[in-house]
Structure 1
C-alpha cells in the first residue's frame, strides 16, 4: 500500500489574494452593499406611570400656581380667565408628565385646580384688603381668614365659578395629553 503524501506548500506572500480553499465562508444572509440596517428596538420610557410622584408634582404645582394666581388678582384687582386656564394647565401638565397615564391623575388634577383657583382668589382678596386697610398681607390672610372668606363670598359672581370650571377642565385635559 502506498500512502500519498501531500507536498509541502510554499509560503505565499502576505499581499497575495486568498485561494478558494483559504477564502472565508460568507454568511448566507449577509447585508448587501447599500442595504439599510433594521431599526433598533426602542426601550420603554423610564420613570413613567408613577402615580405617587405624579400626585406630589401636581400638589406642588397647585400651591405654586395658587400663589401666582393670587398675585395676579391682587395686583390687577380682577379675575383673569387665561390665568385660571394656566393654573389648570400647569397642574395637569405636572401630573401627566411625571405621573404617567393613570386616569386618577386627571381627576386629582381637576380637584387640585379647583382648590388652587379658590386659594388664589383668597390670596387676591387678602392682598386687596391689606392695601385698603393699610396692614400687611400676613395679618389679613392668617389672622383674619374668616373676613377674607366673607369678602370672597361677597365678591363671587357666576363668572367666578366659570373660572373654576375652566381650570378643572384645563387640568384634566392637560393631564391626559401630557401622559400620551
Structure 2
C-alpha cells in the first residue's frame, strides 16, 4: 500500500500558505543573501553607527577593597570590644582567653569585611587587636578598682593611669601574653576569612 500526499489546502485556510517555499518564516526579514550581519558596518563593529567620541563604559575593576576603611573598621571594633572585654574581666576578676580570642576575631573580621582582600589588613588588624586586648585588660583592672574604691573608671584612667599600668605589669604572666598572641592570630585569621 502506498502513501498518498495530503491534498493541498486552500490559501485562506492554510496558516503556512504565505511562507516561502523553503519553509523559513523569517526569510523575508533577513537581509539579502541570508547574511544577518550584512547591514552592519564594515569590520563587524555594532557600535560604529553611534555618535563620534562615544566610548562604551569599561567593566568594573575587581574589588580590592579600601585599606583606610578596613583600618577604621578595625579601630572601631577594637574600641568596642576592648570595653566589653574589660567589663568582663573587671566583673569576673579573671582574664578569659575566649574573650581575648573573640576580641581579635571581631577586629580582624571587621577589617577584612569592610576593607577587602588587601594583604596589609590581616597584619594591621593583628597589631590593632594587640592594642585592644591590652586596653581591655587595663579596663578590667580599672573596673575592678572602681568597684573596690567607689571612684569612676574614667577617674582611674585619667588620674591614675601610671598606677593602672604598674598593676597590669605586676599581674602580667605567661597567660596574659598567650592571650595577646592568640588574639592577634585570631585577628589575622578573621581578616583573611572575611576577605574571601
TM-score range, shorter chain: 0.7 to 0.9
2 CA distance for matches of 1:93 and 1:80? 20
C-alpha distance in 2 between matches for 1:179 and 1:19: 59
* Aligned residue number for residue 70 of structure 1: 86
**Partners in 1 of 2:89 and 2:104 — Cα distance?**
16
Asked if 1 retains the 8 angstrom alpha-carbon contact of 2:70 and 2:111, the reply is yes
Q: Does 1:146 align with 2:162?
A: yes
- Which runs of no fewer than 5 residues in structure 2 stay unpaired? 1-10, 35-58
Aligned equivalents of 1:56, 1:148: Cα separation in 2: 27
Cα distance in 1, alignment partners of residues 77 and 66 from structure 2: 17
| Gap change, CA 1:15 and 1:133, over 3 Å in 2 | farther
Whether the 8 Å contact between 2:64 and 2:118 is mirrored in structure 1 is no
Question: Which sections of structure 1, spanning at least 5 residues, go unmatched?
Answer: 1-11, 29-42
Decide which of 76, 80, 87 is 2:96's aligned counterpart.
80
Cα-to-partner distance string for 1:70-100 (whole Å, 9 max, x where unaligned): 1111111111011011001001101111111
Matched with 1:16 is 15
Supply the distance in 2 between the matched residues of 1:14 and 1:135 (Cα, whole angstroms).
Answer: 101
Task: Write the distance in 1 (CA, Å) between the matches of 2:20 and 2:92.
Answer: 89
DSSP 3-state at the match of 1:146: helix
Looking at structure 2, the residues matched to 15 and 78 of structure 1 have their Cα atoms a distance apart, in angstroms, of 92
Aligned to 2:117: 101
CA shift, 1:19, in A, is 2.1
CA distance change for structure 1 residues 14 and 93 in 2, over 3 Å: closer, same or farther?
farther
Query: What TM-score do the two structures reach when normalised by structure 1?
Result: 0.78
Q: Mean alpha-carbon deviation: is it higher for 87-96 or for 135-144? A: 135-144
Counterparts in 2 of 1:121-160, with a 5 A limit? 121-160=137-176
Is it true that 1:171 corresponds to 2:187 in the alignment?
yes
Q: State the Cα deviation string for residues 6-50 of structure 1 (Å, max 9, x = none).
A: xxxxxx65973232257214999xxxxxxxxxxxxxx87986511
Q: 1:83 to 1:15 in 2, by over 3 A?
A: farther
Offset at 1:61?
0.7
Q: Determine the C-alpha separation between the residues in 1 that align with 2:192 and 2:92.
A: 32
Contact 1:48–1:98, Cα closer than 8 Å, also in 2: no
Q: Secondary structure at the match of 1:24?
A: coil
Residue 108 of structure 2 is aligned to residue 92 of structure 1: yes
